[in-house]
């Protein structure tokens, strides 16, 4: 996956427009979803799932990561995964703090 300037030029504008349309569609789904009466955990799961898909679309197409060398991709992606995983690491303690609260 060698990247050259010519390589970038090959990615036509069609891919960008298509990515944009998908991102808008996913956003519309998210906003609609917010008005469904769902359990908060399921809602969080669905919204985060859609957001991760959107982030992946932005990174792969807009930020050209799909066209970079694999070594760069495997260096960057774990850091991004860690950022999202941090949320899951701290959630249980948040629930614990709630139970400990003096009411």
Partner 1 sequence: MAEHIERLRFAEWEGGISPFAVGSKKLGMWLFIVSDSLTFSGLLVGYSYVRIASERWPMPFELWPTIVMATLMTFCLLSSSLTMALAVRASSLGDRSRTVRFILLTMLGGILFILLHAKEWAGLIAEGVRMWENPWGVPLFGASFFTLTGLHMLHVASGVIYLGVIALGVSRGRFTHEDVEISGLYWHFVDLVWMFIFPLVYLLSVKMP
Ranges assigned E (strand) in the chain: none
Which listed residue (17, 42, 45, 66) binds partner 1 by CB under 8 A? 17
Query: CA–CA separation, 92 vs 41, rounded Å?
Result: 13
The number of angstroms, rounded, from the C-alpha of 44 to the middle of its chain's C-alpha atoms is 13
Supply 6's token pair: 């010519």
Residues 28-87 that bind partner 1 (CB under 8 A): 30-31, 33-35, 37, 40, 43-44, 47-48, 50-51, 54-55, 58-59, 61-64, 68-72, 75-76, 79-80, 82-84, 86-87
Q: How far is the CB of 42 from partner 1 (least distance, A)?
A: 12
């Amino acid at each position: 996956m060698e990247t050259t300037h010519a390589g970038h030029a090959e990615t036509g504008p069609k891919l960008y427009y298509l990515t944009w349309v998908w991102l808008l569609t996913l956003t519309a789904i998210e906003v609609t979803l917010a008005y469904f009466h769902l359990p908060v955990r399921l809602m969080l799961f669905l919204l985060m799932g859609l957001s991760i898909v959107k982030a992946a679309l932005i990174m792969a197409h807009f930020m050209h990561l799909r066209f970079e060398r694999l070594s760069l991709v495997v260096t960057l992606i774990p850091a991004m995964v860690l950022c999202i995983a941090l949320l899951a690491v701290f959630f249980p303690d948040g629930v614990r703090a709630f139970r400990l609260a003096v009411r």
